Amino acid sequence: SDNEESNINKSDETKAVKKAFYVPIERNKEIQEARMELPICAEEQIIMETISNNPVVIICGETGSGKTTQIPQFLYEAGYSSKDNDNPGIIGITQPRRVAAVSMSKRVAQELSLSEQEVSYQIRYDATISPKTVIKFMTDGVLLRELANDFLLSKYSAIIIDEAHERSLNTDILIGAVSRVLKLRAELSEDDGGKIKPLKIIIMSATLRVSDFTQNKNLFDMVPPIINVSARQFPVSIHFNRRTPNIDYVSEAFKKVCKIHTRLPHGGILVFLTGQNEISILCKKLRRKFPYLTQYKSKQLLEEEKIVGDVESLTAKEADVEIGDLDIGDKEVGEELFDTDSEDSEENDEITVDERSGPLYVLPLYSLLSTHAQLRVFEAPPEGTRLCVVATNVAETSLTIPGIKYVVDCGKVKERRYDVITGVQSYVVDWTSKASADQRAGRAGRTGPGHCYRLFSSAVFNDQFQQFTIPEVYRMPIEGIVLQMKAMNIDTVYNFPFPTPPDRNHLRKAERLLQYMNALDENGGITELGRVMATFPVAPRFSKMLIIGQQHGCLPYIIAIVSALSVADPFIKDYHLDISMNSDDDVEEEDNEDFDVRYNELSEIQKEAISQKEHRKLIRKRFYDVQKKHAGLDPTSDILKLLNVVGAYVYEGGTDEFCERNFVRPKAMEEIHKLRRQITNIVQVNCPGVDVCLDSKMKPPSIVQLKAIRQIITAGFIDQIAIRKGLIDKSSKIFSSARNVEYCTMWADDNVFIHPTSILYHHKPPDFVVYQELHRTSKVWMKGITVIESSWLSKLGKSLCTFSKPVDLQVKSKKNKDTEKIAYVIPSFGPKNWELPPIKI
Interface residues toward Mg ion, by CB under 5 A: 67-68
Residue number with CB closer to ligand ADP (59 or 759): 59
167 Cβ neighbours under 8 A, 6+ residues apart: 212, 318, 469, 471, 472, 473, 499, 500
Give me the least distance between CB of 100 and Mg ion, in Å please. 7
Cα-to-chain-centroid distance, residue 748: 25
φ/ψ of 431, rounded to 5, equals -60, 140
User: Least separation, in Å, of the C-beta of 234 and Mg ion?
Assistant: 20
Query: Residues in the chain, how many?
Result: 841
Contact predicate 146/129, CB 8 Å: no
The only residue of 23, 53, 54, 61 in contact with ligand ADP, by rule CB under 6 A: 61
* Interaction partner, residue 599 (Mg ion, ligand ADP, none; CB < 5-8 Å by kind): none
Are the CB atoms for 243 and 457 separated by under 8 Å? Answer: yes
- Taking the least distance from each CB to ligand ADP, the nearer of 267 and 530 is 267
**Residue 309 interacts with ligand ADP (CB under 6 A): yes or no:** no
Choice between 67 and 506, CB closer to Mg ion: 67
Of the candidates 822, 829, 795, 789, the one whose C-alpha atom is nearest the C-alpha of residue 552 is 822
Count of C-beta atoms within a 10 Å radius of residue 589:
16
Which residue from 183, 241, 231 is spatially nearest to 206, judged by alpha carbons?
A: 231
243 secondary structure, DSSP code: S
Question: Which 198-237 positions form the footprint of ligand ADP (CB under 6 A)?
Answer: none
827 close to 834: Cβ distance less than 8 angstroms:
no
Kindly state the DSSP code that residue 77 receives in the 8-state scheme. Answer: H
Which part of the chain contacts ligand ADP (CB under 6 A), choosing from 62-70, 232-240, 251-259, 653-661?
62-70
Binding mask 15-44 for ligand ADP (x = CB under 6 A): -----------------------x------
425 binds, among ligand ADP, Mg ion, none (CB under 5 to 8 A by kind): none
Nearer to Mg ion, 76 or 771 (CB): 76
Min CB(553)–ligand ADP separation in Å:
47
Nearer to ligand ADP, 76 or 663 (CB): 76
Would you give the end-to-end CA distance of the chain in angstroms? 72
* DSSP-based helix, strand, coil % in the chain, nearest 5: 45, 15, 40
402: partner contacted, choices Mg ion, ligand ADP, none (Cβ within 5-8 A by kind): ligand ADP
What CA–CA distance (Å, rounded) separates 223 from 203?
13
Task: Give residues 381-440 in contact with ligand ADP (rule: CB under 6 A).
Answer: 400, 402
CB of 71 to ligand ADP, least distance (A): 8
Q: Residue 61 binds which one of Mg ion, ligand ADP, none, with CB within 5 to 8 A depending on kind?
A: ligand ADP
Parallel/antiparallel/unpaired status of strands 773-776 and 743-745: unpaired
Nearer to ligand ADP, 377 or 738 (CB): 377
Distance CA 626, CA 641 (A): 8
Stretch that binds ligand ADP, among 68-76, 494-502, 687-695, 802-810 (CB under 6 A): 68-76
Residue 400 contact, options ligand ADP, Mg ion, none, Cβ 5-8 Å cut-off depending on partner type? ligand ADP
Q: Is residue 450 near ligand ADP by the rule CB under 6 A?
A: no
Nearer Cβ to ligand ADP, position 175 or 483? Answer: 175
Q: Give CB contacts under 8 A, 24+ apart, made by 624-633.
A: 624/759, 625/836, 625/837, 625/840, 626/700, 626/834, 626/836, 626/837, 627/706, 628/837, 629/831, 629/837, 630/700, 630/830, 630/831, 631/701, 631/702, 631/703, 631/706, 631/831, 632/703, 633/703, 633/706
Smallest gap from residue 93 Cβ to Mg ion (A): 10
For residue 64, state whether it binds ligand ADP (rule: CB under 6 A). yes
Given the rule CB under 6 A, which of 56-64, 337-345, 352-360, 601-609 is the region that contacts ligand ADP? Answer: 56-64
* Distance between CA atoms of residues 478 and 500, nearest Å: 14
Cα 459 to Cα 451: distance, rounded to the nearest angstrom: 19
- Given Mg ion, ligand ADP, none, residue 66, with its beta carbon under 5 to 8 Å by kind, binds ligand ADP
Distance of CA 248 to CAs 244, 252, 312, 573, Å?
10, 7, 19, 21
Question: Which span sits near ligand ADP by CB under 6 A: 10-18, 59-67, 219-227, 253-261?
Answer: 59-67
Q: What angle do CA 700, 704, 707 make, to 5 degrees?
A: 95
To the nearest whole angstrom, how small is the minimum distance from the Cβ of residue 104 to ligand ADP? 7
Q: Residue 378 touches which of ligand ADP, Mg ion, none (CB < 5 to 8 A by kind)?
A: ligand ADP
Report the phi/psi class of residue 212: left, alpha or beta, with left for phi > 0 and alpha for psi in -120 to 50: alpha
The answer to whether 291 contacts ligand ADP (rule: CB under 6 A) is no
At residue 482, φ and ψ (nearest 5 deg) are: -65, -40
Q: Would you say 70 or 580 has its CB closer to ligand ADP?
A: 70
Closest CB 66 distance from Mg ion, rounded Å? 8
User: Which residue, 74 or 792, is less far from Mg ion as judged by CB?
Assistant: 74
Nearer Cβ to ligand ADP (229/554) = 229
Report the distance separating Cα 216 and Cα 498, nearest Å: 9
Please, where are the H alpha helices in 62-216?
67-77, 98-112, 140-149, 169-191, 211-214
Going by the DSSP 8-state scheme, the letter that residue 202 receives in this structure is E
Residue 267's binding partner among ligand ADP, Mg ion, none (Cβ under 5 to 8 angstroms by kind) is none
By beta-carbon proximity to ligand ADP, the closer residue of 68 and 786 is: 68
CB 309, CB 667: distance < 8 Å: yes
Q: Specify the 3-state DSSP secondary structure of 452.
A: strand
The one of ligand ADP, Mg ion, none whose footprint includes residue 563, by CB under 5 to 8 A per kind, is none
Among 7, 53, 54, 69, binds ligand ADP (CB under 6 A): 69
Q: Determine, following the binding rule CB under 6 A, whether residue 68 of this chain makes contact with ligand ADP.
A: yes
Alpha-carbon distance 125 to 812, whole Å? 44
Least distance in angstroms from the C-beta of 226 to ligand ADP: 15
Who contacts 136 (Cβ-Cβ below 8 Å, separation ≥6)? Answer: 90, 91, 92, 93, 105, 120, 121, 122, 129
The 10 Å Cβ neighbour count of residue 530 is 22
Among 19, 107, 288, 674, binds ligand ADP (CB under 6 A): 107
Residue number, 104 or 513, with CB nearest to ligand ADP: 104
> Is position 772 an interface residue for ligand ADP (rule: CB under 6 A)?
no
CB-nearer residue toward ligand ADP: 25 or 421: 25
Helix (H), strand (E) at residue 262: helix 249-263
Confirm if 182 and 56 have CB atoms less than 8 A apart. Answer: yes
Per DSSP, which regions of 448-511 are E strands? 450-454
Q: Does 65 bind ligand ADP (CB under 6 A)?
A: yes
Paired with 775 in beta bridges are 425, 781
475 binds, among Mg ion, ligand ADP, none (CB under 5 to 8 A by kind): none
Select 68 or 216, whichever has its Cβ closest to Mg ion: 68
Q: How far is the CB of 327 from ligand ADP (least distance, A)?
A: 22
Residue 804 binds which entry of Mg ion, ligand ADP, none, with Cβ cut-offs from 5 to 8 Å by kind?
none
Judged by beta carbon distances under 5 to 8 A according to partner kind, the member of Mg ion, ligand ADP, none in contact with residue 69 is ligand ADP
Residues in binding contact with ligand ADP, number by CB under 6 A: 16
- CB 162, min distance to ligand ADP, A: 7
801's contact among Mg ion, ligand ADP, none, with CB below 5 to 8 A by partner kind, is: none
- Which residues inside 358-387 make contact with ligand ADP, applying CB under 6 A? 375, 378
What residues make contact with ligand ADP under the rule CB under 6 A?
38, 61, 63-70, 103, 107, 375, 378, 400, 402
